[in-house]
A and B are shown apart, each in its own frame.
Chain A
């Protein structure tokens, strides 16, 4: 992983990888077969459909660039302090952010490919949705587990009573958050006929609870805890100038994690198969862009910290 990071951790290489993935995604949008049912529903030609899909993809691709830029800067800071007590933990954090960044294009490309296969082979439609959901859940769980572990190790270097500081309000908030999510998601089920065309997830409710809702809640809880731990660390660390740079990094990282969680929360609790510019799309795009800006702030903070270590 370190050898990969040495290659991809430079900003140029990270952006190159992002460009490669963006090119693949754009090719998928324009070359793969479209859903004729969707095109007919909106009275679009296939070309119109391709163009609309591309326009809807532009904000996502922009966020990918921000994300790849962000994790590369965090990696460079982690590399600068690798021999210190926190170095390996920040490297782990950079790994988690890298997985989070890569999960964005990987999911989108997989989802596009699966959708195209489903358009051509209608029997594959349910499977494509299930597989896409599981890809997203898996990537989220992996990235947030890594981020949470790294944050925990970082905060332990400064705060010995971190366990107590994870106060009851955070756990209480997450309980409400989780219960609300379960209600919003399960209400999308047509429990009597889950094969109905209106059903988005195409799995039984019990399987949905175990394999999608529970892992999402686990991943989100870890992500929020990770952001909270880093916030505690940033407040406890000494050094006026150092803390300002660290606060910028932590603010960006927290914004990224929260926006990621929020967009997944809204997307899965408020699913839609409709194409086009509606309030749901606008809100999701806005949240994703906030996440992208979070990556930029994270990069700015990491850059300042790296300069402190290098000048």
Chain B
């Protein structure tokens, strides 16, 4: 995977998170990546997304009781992890 793709995965995750956490999105993802994946944000790969989703599910549950919003957020993140599924859904 090219460095550009690696960076774009992190950017994609932050972009999705921005819809739900606004100005705190980047800081939130940085913390999850550093504390739970023990990586720097620029080293996040597509294979890390599923682990990240599991951690985000737990953490976001502490921030809101709205299950619908949580599932919507995680579903959007899953599309980053499985882009082929996303393309299949588009067809």
Q: Which chain A residues have a beta carbon within 8 Å of chain B's beta carbons?
A: 81, 84, 86, 237-244, 304-305, 307-309, 311
* Chain B hits for A308, CB < 8 A: 21, 24, 28, 63
**A84 CA / B24 CA spacing, docked (Å):** 10
In the complex the two chains form, is A244's CB within 8 Å of B59's CB?
no
* Chain A hits for B25, CB < 8 A: 239
In the complex the two chains form, is B18's CB within 8 Å of A241's CB?
no
| Among all A-B residue pairs, the 4 with the closest Cβ atoms | A239-B22, A242-B22, A238-B22, A239-B21
* Chain A hits for B21, CB < 8 A: 239, 241-242, 308
* Chain B hits for A84, CB < 8 A: 23, 27
Q: How large is the interface on B (under 10, 10 to 19, 20 to 34, 35 or more residues)?
A: 10 to 19
Task: Count CB-based A-B contacts (< 8 Å).
Answer: 51
In the complex the two chains form, is B64's CB within 8 Å of A238's CB?
no
Q: Which of B20, B22, B63 contacts A311 (CB 8 A)?
A: B63
* Chain A hits for B1, CB < 8 A: none
Question: Closest Cβ of chain B: how far from A87's Cβ, in Å?
Answer: 11
* Chain A hits for B22, CB < 8 A: 237-239, 242-243
In the complex the two chains form, is B63's CB within 8 Å of A241's CB?
yes
A81-B24, A239-B24, A309-B24 given; name 14 further pairs at CB < 8 Å: A239-B22, A239-B23, A240-B20, A241-B66, A242-B20, A242-B21, A304-B63, A307-B62, A307-B63, A308-B24, A308-B28, A311-B59, A311-B62, A311-B63
**A292 CA / B27 CA spacing, docked (Å):** 32
Q: Which of A238, A304, A307, A309 contacts B18 (CB 8 A)?
A: A238
Q: Which residue of chain B has the shortest Cβ distance to A158 in the bound complex?
A: B23
Contact residues of B: prevailing secondary structure: helix
Q: Which residue of chain A has the shortest Cβ distance to B61 in the bound complex?
A: A311
* Chain A hits for B7, CB < 8 A: none
Question: Closest Cβ of chain A: how far from B53's Cβ, in Å?
Answer: 15
Question: Closest Cβ of chain A: how far from B38's Cβ, in Å?
Answer: 17
* Chain B hits for A305, CB < 8 A: 24
* Chain B hits for A309, CB < 8 A: 24, 27-28
In the complex the two chains form, is A238's CB within 8 Å of B24's CB?
no
**A304 CA / B62 CA spacing, docked (Å):** 10
**A81 CA / B69 CA spacing, docked (Å):** 24
Question: Closest Cβ of chain B: how far from A36's Cβ, in Å?
Answer: 58
In the complex the two chains form, is B23's CB within 8 Å of A86's CB?
yes
* Chain B hits for A304, CB < 8 A: 63
In the complex the two chains form, is B18's CB within 8 Å of A244's CB?
no
Q: Does B19 contact A (CB under 8 A)?
A: yes
Q: Does B80 contact A (CB under 8 A)?
A: no
**A232 CA / B23 CA spacing, docked (Å):** 16
Question: Closest Cβ of chain A: how far from B56's Cβ, in Å?
Answer: 10
Question: Closest Cβ of chain B: how far from A89's Cβ, in Å?
Answer: 12
